[in-house]
Chain A
Amino acid sequence: MTKTAVSTTINGDAAEFLCETGETLLDVLRDRLDLTGSKEGCGTGDCGACSVMLDGRLVCSCLVLGVEAQGRAVETIEGMAEGETLHPLQQKFLEHAALQCGVCTPGFLVAAKALLEVNDDPSESQVRYWLAGNLCRCTGYDKIVRAVLDTAKDMRSARA
């Protein structure tokens, strides 16, 4: 099967890969670039475990083709911490014990970060609806929602 060459940017760095035209961006990230932080929970856009940012937009990478990344910027969970320093959301998820098995966590973090970028003062129900595309089977969402609300509060007071 012939492959297509794709040039893209991943977490700020230029990246190139060859992929089959039918391969999803998620497959490319995981199987070709060894960025396995994004997870496949369903492959059909229903669980959000594969959430990444594509040109600043939150997407399910299992619903994007690898070739669609050509010339665009992809951000994944691997790019969220700055070196040794965790993103405030990552830190709050740990403090609130917002993960049990942790397989949904990368997707929730990417999605929650996207929320706080457009709304730094979300209500509980805004958080719940924004995250409704991310499934977690372990936590019942309580601690996840608290962690996001608490991060937003801290980020606001840091800015004030």
Chain B
Amino acid sequence: MIKTKFKLVGTRPLRPDGVDKVTGRARFGADISAPGMLHALILRSPHAHARIKSIDTSRAEKLPGVKAVVTRDDFKLPEREDLVDICRNVMAREKALYDGHAVAAVAAVSKTVAREALKRIQVEYQVLPHVTDVDAAMKPRAPILHKGMRTIGAEPAAKKDSNVAQIHTFGHGDVVKGFAKADIIIERSFKTEATHQGYIEPHACLATYGADDRADLWCCTQGHYMVRNACAGLLGMEVSHLRVTASEIGGGFGGKTTVFIEPVALALSRKAGKPVKLVMSRDEVFRASGPTSSSSTDVKIGITKKGKITAAQAILRYQGGAFPGSPVQFGAMTGFAPYDLENVHTVGYDVVANRPKQAAYRAPGAPLAAFAIESVIDELAHKIGMDPLEFRLKNAAREGTKSSYGPTFGPIGLEATLKESKKHPHHLAPLGPNQGRGVACGFWFNFGGQTSVSLNIGEDGTVSVVEGNPDIGGSRASMCLMAAEELGVPYEKVRTVIADTASLGYNEVTDGSRVTFAVGMATIKAARQAIAIMCERAAKIWDIPAEAVVWEDGCAKPAGSNAGNFKPMTLAEIAGSAGSTGGPISGHSEATADGAGVSFATHMVDVEVDPDTGKVTVLRYTVFQDAGKAIHPAYVEGQFQGGAAQGVGWAINEEYIYGEDGRLQNPGFLDYRIPVASDLPMIDTVILEIPNPGHPYGVRGVGETSIVPPLAAIANAVSEAAGVRLTHLPMSPPRVLKAMMENGKGAA
């Protein structure tokens, strides 16, 4: 049964961690120190691809004030297969695989000494040919990154080394037959450049490793249990001997779902016997954390004259940096998910190249596929003179549709977002010269996963929710709301804290838009368990059966034949007497959360293209998305707006630019320009609520879907305004101008 009537859920109270964050009191990754602490720095490869013949650290070690130096020799390759590439990424072994790959690290009494020590480390490199472009990396004679890597999923089986790590295929029906039935077929190729999540807080940590082989680690991460697991594996520790505390986190968007510097800080601390602080510079964040894939995609879609899709196919190639694991399978799964298709086929190539290993970025892989596919959808709609929203409605996936990636959809909100956009004033507003309007749809699966929550009733009737997922965008407020709703107490009576890894069972990373769904569900279950205990306590006091007590408005009340016989007891009264009725009262939930609800969105955007320069200005933006149930609507809107803004950056500004030498040319916010306040308009939001049957309140994840449609929506708008189809992101001024000139558009 999904609850539909709420007292608190759906309101917009102030977030409980707000005062700390507006006064500067909140402690982020780099904000703490320890007595006797050392400062660490990492030496990084200046080459895109090089054999490391030798590393001589002796001169650095002799420098006064240097307390530890670590290299590949300090990290044994772990037995656990899932950690091998992480280990190789954390510290280069026989080869440096990208510009910025860590080669050595030092810990010293000051940053100044550490900097001097880095200069004294001598690394002998043998520079090798490199490749950074995805299509080039797939060529037969491309430089091979990993000797012995054979393409998984190749048919017939691969016989030669390749940079293609794996081939993924999805789909159903018969596209050949489908295309034979089509009246119109459009086939196009697209490219996107790599972007970075661009969180404002660089990675930072403080490691304290004791002589007893017990360690503490403080760090900014999306998942401190993941950090514990990975670091323990890399350092040969038992997980319980490493306690990880998550700091406040200054943004992540998927980029803080793995480890980079944490194992290095621990190894240095172990060697030096002192606490070690390690903070990345912005340059290091760009060169050596995990940006996105760049991609190259071919799309072919066939339709009837009336606008029904008969067949759809896409070939996607994503380079994911120096190690396998690009999110190409997610691109191949999600791209056609908004459509009800009889015949669909997608193939994804996971490719390695001499770039930093990619990390997740909000709906990883999906925006790239949506860009390509939604662009072709748009072109087809225009070709038959149909409104692009109408065209999508005609082909939209609905409850019961067999999705392009396999499962059959339950209740979903795609149609609702499309209908809502059709009647929105934005859709009807007139456009001026050089302006265009674009729409696009997007889909993301969302996730549940392992979750552990404790809810403690304080002796004065206040409540603490103890959870294990870093609060990256206001989730404490949502947990407080759900706990208060269940318990029937005011929002202010509940405090939510994020526990360290020793204090609570395992929690998966804050990713997959899972927190409000999975942690929220666990909070509700923990509250319900506490309520059951409180009803038992009241029953004991009243000397009636526990089943004869109900919980209403924050009170235990006698029910049935006992109704009215006893004065209801408030939560505070029951808590106050807990010592004599059986002891402290807590509720728990430890489970693997199933039932995450998929989320769809439609975005609508107006742009203006300057015909003289090719510069794109975003004039108006509206997001329509299904949230299932918005627990704290202001933070749901925030997720919609944030995703859209990042999408704007991806579409028109942001890109990793590599030189001929394979080095990143723009590792700073000046040259890698993310949208600033003056680049954007207000971003309007429309929250739709089609309940997810898998959650007691109907919650779906909302954080990721919002970045899926913007790339395509903006490309569609720019294509209309410029009078020419743009197929390469970002649509920076030179690229737009060139496309216009080549097609005889724009000011000559």
Q: How far is the CA of A6 from the CA of B644 in the complex (A)?
A: 46
Residue of B nearest to A106 (CB): B24
The reply to whether the CB of A46 lies closer than 8 angstroms to some CB of chain B is: yes
Mask, B29-45, CB within 8 Å of A = 1, is: 01111000000000000
Least CB separation from A143: chain B residue: B638
B-side contacts of A34, CB under 8 Å: 33
In the complex, are the beta carbons of A93 and B22 less than 8 A apart? yes
Q: A37 contacts B24, CB within 8 Å?
A: yes
A44 near B33: Cβ-Cβ < 8 Å: no
Interface size on B, residues (CB 8 A): 60
Cβ of A94 and Cβ of B15 under 8 Å apart? yes
Contacting residues, chain B, for A86 (C-beta < 8 A): 19, 22-23
**Are A125 and B473 within 8 A (Cβ)?**
no
Stretch of B81-89, B521-529, B674-682 contacting A (4+ beta carbons < 8 Å): B674-682
Judged by a CB distance under 8 angstroms, whether B467 is at the interface is: no
Given contacts A78-B23, A81-B23, A97-B635, contact A138 B251 (CB under 8 A): yes
B281/A43 in contact, CB under 8 A: yes
A152 within 8 A of B: no
Contact between A99 and B24 (Cβ–Cβ < 8 Å)?
no
Task: Give A139 to B676 CA distance when docked, in angstroms.
Answer: 11
Is the pair B635, A49 in contact by a Cβ cutoff of 8 Å? no
- Knowing A81-B23, A86-B23, the reply to whether A97 touches B634 (Cβ < 8 A) is yes
Scan A129-153; emit 1 where CB is below 8 A from any B CB, else 0: 1011111111111111110000000
Contact A134 B669 (CB under 8 A): no
Query: Shortest CB–CB separation between residue A112 and chain B, in angstroms?
Result: 11
Contact A104 B200 (CB under 8 A): yes
Complex contact B28–A99 (CB within 8 A): no
Name the residue of chain A whose CB is nearest to the CB of B39.
A31
Residues B21 and A145 in contact, CB atoms below 8 Å apart: no
Q: Which residues of chain A have C-beta atoms less than 8 A from B675's C-beta? A: 140-141
Asked whether A100 is an interface residue with its Cβ less than 8 Å from the other chain, the reply is yes
**CB-CB under 8 A for A103 and B638, given A44-B668, A132-B677, A135-B674:** no
Please report the number of residue pairs spanning A and B whose Cβ atoms sit closer than 8 angstroms: 188
A118 within 8 A of B: no
Indicate whether B161 reaches chain A with its CB closer than 8 angstroms.
no
| A40, B683: Cα distance in complex, Å | 28
For A30, the chain B residues whose CB sits under 8 A away are: 30-31
Give CA–CA (A138, B644) in the complex, Å: 10
Chain B neighbourhood of A141, CB < 8 A: 645, 675-677, 680
B579 CB within 8 Å of chain A: no
Query: Does B202 make an interface contact (CB < 8 A)?
Result: yes
Contacts of A53 in B (CB 8 A): none
Given contacts A43-B281, A101-B201, contact A143 B646 (CB under 8 A): no
A42 proximity list for chain B (CB < 8 A): 282, 668-669
Q: How far apart are the CA atoms of A31 and B33 in the complex, in Å? A: 8
Cβ-based interface call for A73 (8 A): no
Distance, CA A44 to CA B23, complexed state (A)? 24
Using a CB-CB cutoff of 8 Å, which residues 23-63 of chain A contact chain B?
30-31, 34-44, 46-47, 49
Inter-chain CA distance A44–B283, complex, in Å, is 10
Partner of A44, one of B201, B670, B679: B670
Task: Determine whether the beta carbon of A99 is less than 8 Å from that of B21.
Answer: yes
Closest B residue to A99 by beta carbon equals B21
Tell me the nearest residue of chain B to A138, going by C-beta: B642
**Closest residue on chain A to residue B673 by CB atoms:** A46
CB-based contact A44/B282 at 8 Å = yes
Please give, as numbers and ranges, the residues of chain B lying within 8 Å of A94 by CB-CB distance: 14-15, 18-19, 22
- Is A139's CB under 8 angstroms from B12's CB? no
Tell me if B26 and A128 are in contact (CB < 8 A). Answer: no
CB distance from A11 to the nearest CB of B (A): 11
Does B112 make an interface contact (CB < 8 A)? yes
Q: Indicate whether B335 reaches chain A with its CB closer than 8 angstroms.
A: no
In-complex Cβ contact of B200 among A35, A41, A96 (8 A): A41
Instruction: Answer whether residue B147 sits at the interface, using C-beta atoms and an 8 A cutoff.
Output: no
Asked whether any CB of chain A lies closer than 8 Å to the CB of B409, the reply is no
User: Which listed residue, A1, A44, A145, touches B682 by the CB 8 Å rule?
Assistant: A145
Q: How far is the CB of A143 from chain B (nearest CB, A)?
A: 7
Q: B24 to A137, Cβ gap below 8 A?
A: no
Shortest C-beta distance, A81 to chain B (Å), equals 6
Docked CA distance A54–B231 (Å) = 42
Q: How far is the CB of B66 from chain A (nearest CB, A)?
A: 15
* CB-nearest residue of chain A to B196: A137
Q: Which residues of A contact B473 (CB under 8 A)?
A: 100-101, 138
Interchain nearest-CB distance for B727 vs A (Å): 26
Q: Which residues of B contact A35 (CB under 8 A)?
A: 24
Residues of B within 8 A of A132 (CB): 676-679
Q: What are 27 A-B contacts with C-beta separation under 8 Å?
A: A43-B281, A47-B282, A80-B24, A81-B23, A93-B22, A97-B638, A100-B474, A100-B635, A100-B642, A102-B17, A103-B248, A106-B24, A125-B678, A132-B676, A132-B678, A134-B677, A137-B197, A137-B251, A137-B642, A137-B646, A138-B251, A138-B473, A140-B638, A140-B683, A143-B641, A144-B677, A146-B682
B residues neighboring A (CB under 8 Å):
12, 14-15, 17-19, 21-28, 30-33, 110, 112, 197-202, 248-253, 279, 281-282, 472-474, 632, 634-635, 637-638, 641-642, 644-646, 668-670, 674-680, 682-683
New A-B contacts (6) at CB < 8 Å, excluding given A36-B30, A94-B18: A41-B250, A97-B638, A103-B28, A136-B200, A137-B251, A137-B674
Q: Which 8 A-B pairs have the closest CB atoms?
A: A37-B24, A103-B250, A140-B645, A102-B21, A97-B634, A46-B669, A140-B641, A77-B24
